[in-house]
Amino acid sequence: HQAQTGYEMFGPYCIAIIELEEGPRVTSQVVDCEPEIVKPGMKVKSVFRKLGEDSESGILHYGTKFILDEVLETERDENDDMADVEL
């Protein structure tokens, strides 16, 4: 997809239908990778990211996006101080 006005620096980007372990499917952005490498059946993990900011009030908006599991593992290998947490 191409980014809308004001978000051009973030495009093009990948939107995917992601089937969660519990069964439901969600439509979300896949981040931190080139869109052309995303293929059906790839494993992803959810990440919490800044979605935007209200310029008048300064309110920050956060939400869930997804990252390829293989990208996350590469980041973990490069950054050993990342913490594993369970919620």
Q: Is the pLDDT of residue 7 over 70?
A: no
- Taking the alpha carbons of 52, 57, 58, 60 in that order, is the dihedral positive or negative? negative
pLDDT digits (tens, 9 = 90+) for 51-86: 888 878 889 999 999 999 887 666 655 555 544 433
Give pLDDT, residue 75: 60
Give pLDDT, residue 83: 46
Give pLDDT, residue 3: 61
Q: Is the pLDDT of residue 43 over 50?
A: yes
Q: Which amino acid is at 17?
A: I
Q: Which two tokens stand for residue 32?
A: 């931190």
Give pLDDT, residue 25: 92
Q: Where are the domains of the chain?
A: 8-78
Nearest Cα neighbor of 1 from 32, 30, 42, 44 is: 30
Give pLDDT, residue 35: 86
Phi first, then psi: give them for residue 34, nearest 5 degrees: -75, 135
